[in-house]
Chain A
Amino acid sequence: MTTTALPRLGGFSPGMIALELRRLMRNKRTVIFTLVMPAAFFLLFGTSSAYKDERAGDGNVTAYVLISMAVYGAMLATTSGGAMVSIERAAGWSRQLRLTPLKPAAYVAVKIIIAMVIGAVSVVVVNVVGAFAGADMPVGAWIGCALLSWACALVFAAFGLFMGYLLPSENVMQILGPVLAVLSFAGGLFVPADQLGSTFATIAKFTPVYGVGELARYPLTHSGDVWLAVLNVAAWTALFAAGAMWRFRRDTARV
């Protein structure tokens, strides 16, 4: 009548990831915001014939905009992946999960993986659309930029988790969506930071989107201060991860 052994890895399993992804893809709002919108923005802002002809680094401006939108899509996707915890806490699902062998750390690991998977899908969608819509850059730069846009979005998976634990709301993405848009402007993702004036350009360097954008574009542009960008990404990831950990510990403490 009883199970005699605890599941390995604290209940972390591919089966759970598969079910969670299926649920996420069922949510039309998530699909539109993370997969459709970044590609639509790219088509809207990056594919004028002037952009296709104008050069930017090793490719054209369309490719430059493509990378920015891939980063934006990855950010949205990973943030909403992390922020799933907020919806689940609001619904009492986290409490339900505590009646299973699933360990809190395994739950968070599943959330991070899901965030990164939908981040990857978002990056792939924008890049495929870009390939058919006139973006031009060397294959090596293309792969490098796509991988960096995806990998650096980990900072927003941490951000999403932190906010997910901080804001117990069912509609957390309605708050975080605009926040990400503002951060994208502030970090020079939509408009290059040096076009914003020197004061803004300086402030931009300290905002969390700046480092991700600079790094993701580097294989194309070979410009900018790479180490400053790496420092920016590392610092914000550490900060958001620490915040998420702090709230997570508080949330799962048995009182």
Chain B
Amino acid sequence: MTLTASSDTAATGTGQLAVDLDGVVKRFGTVTAVDGIDLRIRPGEVVALLGPNGAGKTTTVDMLLGLSKPTSGTAKIYGLPPQDAVALGRISAVMQTGGLLKDYTVEETVRLTAVLFGKPRSAVAAALERAGIAEIGGRLVGKCSGGQQQRLRFAMALLPDPDLLILDEPTTGMDVGGRREFWDAIRQDAEGGRTVIFATHYLEEADAYADRIVLVRRGKIVADGTAAEVKALAAGRTVRATVAGASLVDWSQVPGVESAEVRGDTVLLSGRDSDAIARHLLTRTEARDLEITSRNLEDAFLALTAEDAA
């Protein structure tokens, strides 16, 4: 069964692709971490790379950033090899953990990044401002909270003014308030048209912040589309209606219905094309009290990433 919903729409954009992964495979010894990923992302998309731990998200991110090399296949960022895109500041990232020195102040850390990218002093203040940490610039990194350190990583990532920003499990270990603040900063930033890819295993984050969700399982993409499409792919939707004499009808003959359940005068019809089912009910039957529900993303996630899903 194919679960790809909209990868064709993603490839039809004009101009340079932000990300072009072509048949990317990554093996570590006998372990295959990424098993043939094709992924095209257009400029301006906000994409969630969603999957359980060990699905290959971080390995994929590492290859996007040129931190590791694909065993086979190619990765291109705006048409460039990832390492060049990194050096030119077209792609940057907020990594999961680590990567900070305790003896630097917040401002010095960002200033060092500016020095390395050949950016002026004014860019430092701007990055601190946008990451919302301007007022703690003089604080030693070792004295910052986890959320503040994450926003410092965000400020460093903003410094080269990248076209593509990658966030690898950016809110791991943050409390709810810290997560919300962090995402508000990211969302504000993305309104300027920056392409954002974030890896996460928090479903609600993918649902709330991404235009497109790429679901990864065991090194493969198992679903790709909007949050609504991904939910529908896994479980379809259920149309519930009240129809007098429901038990007399063979509902499985209705176009689009995959399973049907009758409870007295109430009928529950499940299928991927809920629109077709609803249209049938409203035009060909006396159905009323129509209700269409999709399963939530968590159900989709579990269904698509379960061991027997393939």
Q: Decide yes or no: A2 and B163 within 8 Å by CB, A92-B99, A255-B68 being known contacts.
A: yes
User: What chain A residues lie within 8 Å of B65 (beta carbons)?
Assistant: 99
- Chain A, residue nearest B159 (CB): A100
Q: Decide yes or no: A91 and B108 within 8 Å by CB, A2-B161, A99-B65 being known contacts.
A: no
Q: Which of A18-26, A42-50, A113-121 is near enough to bind chain B?
A: A18-26
Which of B65, B86, B92, B118 has its CB near the most chain A CB atoms (within 10 A)?
Answer: B118
Q: Does B262 contact A (CB under 8 A)?
A: no
User: What chain B residues lie within 8 Å of A99 (beta carbons)?
Assistant: 65, 67, 86, 92-93, 95, 157
Q: Quick check: B95 and A6 within 8 Å, CB to CB?
A: no
Q: Quick check: B116 and A91 within 8 Å, CB to CB?
A: no
Query: In the complex, what distance in Å separates the CA atom of A93 from the CA atom of B102?
Result: 10
- Chain A, residue nearest B166 (CB): A99
Q: Decide yes or no: A254 and B102 within 8 Å by CB, A7-B116, A13-B115 being known contacts.
A: no
Q: Does B147 contact A (CB under 8 A)?
A: no
Query: In the complex, what distance in Å separates the CA atom of A24 from the CA atom of B102?
Result: 11
Quick one: which of A1-16 are within 8 Å of B by CB?
1-7, 11, 13, 15-16
Q: A102 to nearest B CB, angstroms?
A: 5
Q: Decide yes or no: A19 and B69 within 8 Å by CB, A2-B88, A26-B103, A93-B99 being known contacts.
A: no
Q: Quick check: B117 and A101 within 8 Å, CB to CB?
A: yes
- Chain B, residue nearest A8 (CB): B118
Q: Quick check: B115 and A16 within 8 Å, CB to CB?
A: yes
Q: Quick check: A91 and B87 within 8 Å, CB to CB?
A: no
Query: In the complex, what distance in Å separates the CA atom of A136 from the CA atom of B122?
Result: 52
Q: Does A249 contact B (CB under 8 A)?
A: no
Q: Quick check: B88 and A93 within 8 Å, CB to CB?
A: no
> Interface residue count for A (Cβ, 8 Å)?
32
- Chain B, residue nearest A170 (CB): B102
Q: B149 to nearest A CB, angstroms?
A: 12
Q: Decide yes or no: A100 and B98 within 8 Å by CB, A2-B161, A3-B88, A27-B103 being known contacts.
A: no
Which of B68, B112, B113 has its CB near the most chain A CB atoms (within 10 A)?
Answer: B112
User: What chain B residues lie within 8 Å of A24 (beta carbons)?
Assistant: 103
Query: In the complex, what distance in Å separates the CA atom of A93 from the CA atom of B152?
Result: 13
Q: B291 to nearest A CB, angstroms?
A: 46
Q: Quick check: B97 and A23 within 8 Å, CB to CB?
A: no
Query: In the complex, what distance in Å separates the CA atom of A119 from the CA atom of B102?
Result: 23
Q: Quick check: B86 and A91 within 8 Å, CB to CB?
A: no
Query: In the complex, what distance in Å separates the CA atom of A101 from the CA atom of B90?
Result: 11
Q: Quick check: A92 and B98 within 8 Å, CB to CB?
A: yes
A-B contact pairs, 8 of them (CB 8 A): A11-B116, A13-B115, A23-B103, A91-B99, A93-B100, A93-B101, A99-B92, A99-B93
Q: Which residues in B have some Cβ–Cβ distance to A below 8 Å?
A: 65-69, 86-90, 92-93, 95, 97-104, 108, 111-113, 115-119, 156-157, 160-163
Q: Which residues in A have some Cβ–Cβ distance to B below 8 Å?
A: 1-7, 11, 13, 15-16, 19, 22-24, 26-27, 87-88, 91-93, 95-102, 254-255
8 closest cross-chain pairs (CB), A and B = A92-B98, A96-B99, A15-B115, A101-B87, A100-B116, A3-B89, A92-B99, A7-B118
